[in-house]
Amino acid sequence: MATKLMDKAKKEKADEFYTQLSDIENEMRYYKEQFKGKIIFCNCDDPYESNFFKYFALNFNHLGLKKLIATCYDSSPVAFTQLSLFNCGKSIPNKNRRAYKIEITEVSDFNADGAVDLSDVRYLLQNKDNTLTLLNGDGDFRSHECVELLKQSDIVVTNPPFSLFREYVVQIIENGKDFILIGNTNALTYKEIFKLFKENKIRTGNTNFNVGMYFFVPDDYLKFHKIVDGKKMVRVSTSCWFTSLPVKKHNEYLTCYKRYSPEEYPQYENYDAINIDKYTEIPYDYDGCMGVPITFLDKYNPEQFEIVALGIVGSIDFSSEKRMEILKDGKGTGTFTINAKGTLYKKYNPQVDKKPPAFKDAETGELYSSIYARIIIRRRNPNEN
């Protein structure tokens, strides 16, 4: 029994995390102008459970949308159990459900009270101009019929399955569409996603990058952080928004107040760049390559800085091939590596380094600290500080 539960826990992936309306509202309020006259596509969203659909249906007129399309995936485990919004009287697939799409082109303020409420949405689904149609396939965002809907739309807005994030984003970009998506900050370091950052085709959204989000999870999930109104919720500290649309903070210039000194900004041993531990400490007078933490991307203004590479093997060419012993808690392990397992490293400095050294030069005995997760950047206009 215990093994069965553990197996189940392992299978629980972030693919079935459902977004809160408040998180959607907080981000969407920045894009009002961009939504006007547009076709919004929520393609991982069962209208009966997705707050993305709910948000756009309820704000259809306020945002001046042309159309709202939502498609659901037929293996979603929470369908019809969680955020049941409407009871529209149409023939809706039940337990043996099939994937379907909803297309909304008209929302009248039925109550004539100036606001669109849930009863209007119920009415909306009975309106002959708003259709609910079964799909032929399973509603996979990669299926032919869903790609055809993508081609008709302007902006894709959703929280897609995390395990498919790379191909999900690549498909939208290949089809030349805009997007606002929830993803994981780890995705910043995926080769495909990082390339898009370099090309300025993706950026982080408006919501604070470091706060994380709570998501609803299916009732049978074993791991959760709290229960709200009888629904289990999980906090993901690394979730954030990604978009192709303009975001004000990425046009703002970072004020650099620190002066460069070789003592404070040591060079890497295997790449020609200085190490910077906090993006706020980027020196105003250094024009060469700099390694900054990944969180820099949340402040990245492509007019001020150029992204050169990700500081890991495969993204940059390391300038040395030292044979080193791997240390654990500063002590030798008898195991050796070339080039610090493919990461950046710098000379160990006992005065400032909080962690013990991670590597020892097999020939000279020199100690090194490894530097994980750095982005190599350079100032675009060297004279502009």
Name the site residues for ligand SAM (rule: CB under 6 A).
15-19, 44-45, 50-52, 73, 75-76, 139-141, 158-161, 164
CB closer to ligand SAM out of 12 and 178: 12
In angstroms, give the least distance from the CB of 78 to ligand SAM: 7
Distance CA 50, CA 334 (A): 53
Distance CA 318, CA 127 (A): 62
CB closer to ligand SAM out of 164 and 313: 164
In angstroms, give the least distance from the CB of 30 to ligand SAM: 18
CB closer to ligand SAM out of 180 and 316: 180
CB closer to ligand SAM out of 170 and 254: 170
In angstroms, give the least distance from the CB of 258 to ligand SAM: 40
In angstroms, give the least distance from the CB of 305 to ligand SAM: 32
Find, among 384, 359, 385, 383, the residue nearest to 371 by Cα. 359
Secondary structure, 3-state, the chain: CHHHHHHHHHHCCHHHCEECHHHHHHHHHHHHHHHCCCEEEECCCCCCCCHHHHHHHHCHHHHCCCEEEEECCCCCCCCCCCCCCCCCCCCCCCCCCCCEEEEECCCCCCCCCCCCCHHHHHHHHHCCCCEEEECCCCCCCCCHHHHHHHHHCCEEEECCCHHHHHHHHHHHHHCCCEEEEEEEHHHHHCHHHHHHHHCCCCEECCCCCCCCEEEECCCCCCCCCEEECCEEEEEECCEEEEECCCCHHHHCCCCCCECCCCCCCCECCCCCCEECCCHHHCECCCCCCEEEEHHHHHCCCCCCEEEEEECEECCECCCCCCEEEEEECCEEEEEEEEHHHHEEEEECCCCCCCCCCCEEECCCCCEEEEECCEEEEEECCCCCC
CB closer to ligand SAM out of 15 and 298: 15
Q: Letter for the amino acid at 268?
A: Y
CB closer to ligand SAM out of 45 and 269: 45
In angstroms, give the least distance from the CB of 218 to ligand SAM: 10
CB closer to ligand SAM out of 71 and 130: 71
CB closer to ligand SAM out of 51 and 304: 51
CB atoms within 10 A of CB 236: 17
In angstroms, give the least distance from the CB of 348 to ligand SAM: 42
In angstroms, give the least distance from the CB of 230 to ligand SAM: 17
In angstroms, give the least distance from the CB of 171 to ligand SAM: 10
In angstroms, give the least distance from the CB of 318 to ligand SAM: 37
